[in-house]
Amino acid sequence: MYILVTRTRPDRVRLRELDADGAPTGPAGTGTDVTLSDAAFAVHARAREDGGVRWVWEDTAEIYPLLLRARLRVQRCHDLRLCHAILRNSALTGASALANAPAGRWDAPAAVPRPETAGSTLFDMDLGGAAEAGGETQDEDARTEFLAQLAAVAASAEPGRLRLLLAAESVGALIAAEMQFAGLPWRSAIHDTLLTAELGPRAATGQRPARLEALAVRIRNELGDQTVNPDSPPELLRALNRAGVQVTTTRAWELEKLSHPVIEPLLRYKKLARLQSANGWYWMETWIVDDRFHPEYLPGGVVTGRWATRGGGALQLPRQIRGAVVADPGWRFVVADAAQLEPRILAALSADTAMASAGRGTDLYAGIVASGVVETRAHAKVAMLGAMYGATSGESGRLLPRLARAYPRALALTESAARAGERGDIVSTRLGRSSPRPGPDWQDEQARGSEDGAGSAAQRRARSQAGDWGRFTRNFIVQGTAAEWALCWMAEIRKGLWALSSAAAPESGAARSAPGPFASVPHLVFFLHDEVIVHTPAALADDVARIVGEAAATAGRLLFGDFPVDFPLTCVVVDSYADAK
DNA sequence: CGAGCCCGCGCG
DNA sequence: AAAGCGCGCGGGCTCG
């Protein structure tokens, strides 16, 4: 059973019940087709949720927060915009009407950024002009799109994989909205203490904190230049050269190799200046509200299927400040990350049983060493990364032939993905997300490079671009399939937590935490590619850890069936994120 | 003065 | 050019 939700006016939604084929189950004006205020929507949705419905809507991030604010979470949805993007590009649906239609509004990026607070936005105003008639059109347009998606999946060569992918993408959108809503516990007082210890007390706007200013003074003295601004790479480079430091960039890893009295204070300055500008007091005041960090997650924000984020730099929380991430009193964190996820994904994708067994019951890189392929874990790691990223030189390049001898199937798969990209072809993940085609500039460059009279410069450019795209497609199949595994993992975690909180409900003995539907139940609060954090009442932490581990195994089976590959986790129960590895 | 680029660096 | 993939963000800087 589906319920299609569309916005008819800024403060109204229409709900239409659809059967399994997407056909309306009753005429307008009956209980199966109603138009409601936002407030009434939440009440109505709560009643319908128990019936095992799947909500179908254009954009989870636009609609779902309405329900979350009313303390309602839903089990299942179908996000039309995200699913359209997958089906539009998938090699599995290339013959569908959906994939061959001209670009339309379903190909546009998500509507305007969604503020947490209700209010008028550009998006609202656009719709406002359409009034009731617009609502009608909007609704039929959404239903038509839904039908096209169902048809594209049904006619594809792998409907099962695509259904799983669309369900995983959609539940990911639910999770993203829930995590943004709940927020990551973040103690401003601790953050402030960490900053003060590193930088000195907070200074007035435009001033450097004491420790940073002292380092700037030392740098100027060592360089014999009282005006150089260490925040300006060009100025710094000129000053370094004048002081006799032979360097062509100001990157820290280049400077590290040199011995000169300015290097030590300069490297410390760079580290602290980064902390101050990226995650300093200004960041804290902008992004931490009521001791919670609420980044906006963008499911499907990366073409590989990884999530992106917007605002606050949630993809790059430095280890330096993870001590500020502390569970509420009576609560704990379960922090888990998938060990060597991408190489394990590659082993399973390529059905390379030798590589899979190297990772069975152990660290995969250690297993590669134990198999005698290379001498050290560091070598195993750099060689694997080289295989997945397309290294050609250096240590990684030198080790690749040994990897290829030991794991021919895995390496053949990455090579063929690279060759496809170099030709301008597309590649696909396990569940059927396909890479984009290279743009017109790329095609032009290739054409110029292979013309009869092409000069060597043109040939070199074409080869270089082809190589770039080949490294992208080489990595796409692994990164993209790993992203699918992570979505399935999170979906299973969510399902397990839901069951756990129903079983343990209503009172697990923990104090209420955040407002909303997660006030007293374990819930996901952070996700980063292959890592999750669950915030849970302390008494349930061990159950949560078990659920997270079982979910990893289930995700592996969902993607790879019986293929014998392990997805072990490092999983810890902690009070502070800083204590997790 | 803002838009958009590059540089550099944090994360996986 | 860190040897190779994917991101977001802030500061400096140039251009219009």
CA distance A188 to A289: 9
So what's the pLDDT on residue A508? Answer: 52
Averaged pLDDT for residues A15-37: 87
The residue among A15 and A392 whose pLDDT is bigger is: A15
Mean predicted confidence (pLDDT) in A260-285: 94
Element (H, E) at A43: helix A38-49
d(CA A270, CA A496): 44
Give CA separation, A36 vs A19, A43, A109, A117, in Å: 21, 10, 27, 20
Q: Name the β-bridge partners of A536.
A: A332
Nucleotide whose C1' lies closest to the alpha carbon of residue A307: C7
pLDDT for residue A137 is more than 90: no
Residues with CB under 7 A from strand C: A 229, 231-235, 249, 251, 253-254, 277-278, 283, 298, 301-304, 306, 308-313, 315-316, 382, 385-386, 389-397, 468, 471-472, 475, 479, 529
Q: How far is the CA of A20 from the C1' of B12 (A)?
A: 39
> CB under 7 Å from any atom of strand B: which residues?
A 233, 237, 249-253, 270-271, 274, 278, 313, 315-320, 337, 479, 528-531
Judged on CB neighbours under 10 Å (0-12, 13-18, 19+), A361 is exposed
Interatomic CA–C1' length for residue A125 and nucleotide B4, angstroms: 29
Note the CA–C1' distance, A313 to B10, in angstroms: 9
What percent of chain A shows pLDDT beyond 70?
93
Per-residue pLDDT for A131 more than 60? no
How far apart CA A56 and CA A409 sit, in angstroms, is: 41
Q: Which nucleotide is nearest to A248 (CA to C1')?
A: C1
Integer CA distances (angstroms), A420 to A165, A416, A438, A450, A475, in order:
23, 6, 11, 17, 12
Instruction: Write down the pLDDT at residue A470.
Output: 95
* Mean confidence (pLDDT) of chain A: 91
- Provide the percentage of residues in chain A whose pLDDT is more than 90: 80
Q: Is residue A136 pLDDT above 70, yes or no? A: no
CA of A345 to C1' of C2 (A): 26
Q: Which one has a higher pLDDT value, A124 or A407?
A: A407
What is the pLDDT at residue A109?
76
Region of residue A282 (left: phi > 0; alpha: psi -120 to 50; beta: else): alpha
Q: What is the pLDDT of residue A454?
A: 82
CA of A17 to C1' of C15 (A): 55
Q: Where are the beta strands (DSSP E) in A69-169?
A: 77-79
- How sure is the predictor about A507, in pLDDT bands with cuts at 50, 70 and 90? low
- CA A442 to C1' C12, in angstroms, rounded, equals 31
Query: Angle at Cα A521 formed by Cα A515 and Cα A526, nearest 5°?
Result: 80
Q: Would you state the pLDDT for residue A243?
A: 92
Q: Are A427 and A435 in contact (CB under 8 A)?
A: yes
pLDDT digits (tens, 9 = 90+) for A492-502: 999 999 999 88
A106 within 8 A of A145, measured Cβ to Cβ: yes
Both tokens assigned to A303: 């073409």
CA of A9 to C1' of C5 (A): 43
Q: Could you tell me the pLDDT band of residue A97, with boundaries at 50, 70 and 90?
A: very high
What pLDDT, on the 0 to 100 scale, is given for residue A519?
84
pLDDT exceeds 70 at position A162: yes
The radius of gyration computed from the CA coordinates of chain A, to the nearest angstrom, equals 27
Measured to protein CB atoms, the chain B nucleotides within 7 Å are 7-12
- Nucleotide with smallest C1' distance to residue A231 CA: C11
pLDDT at position A576 is 97
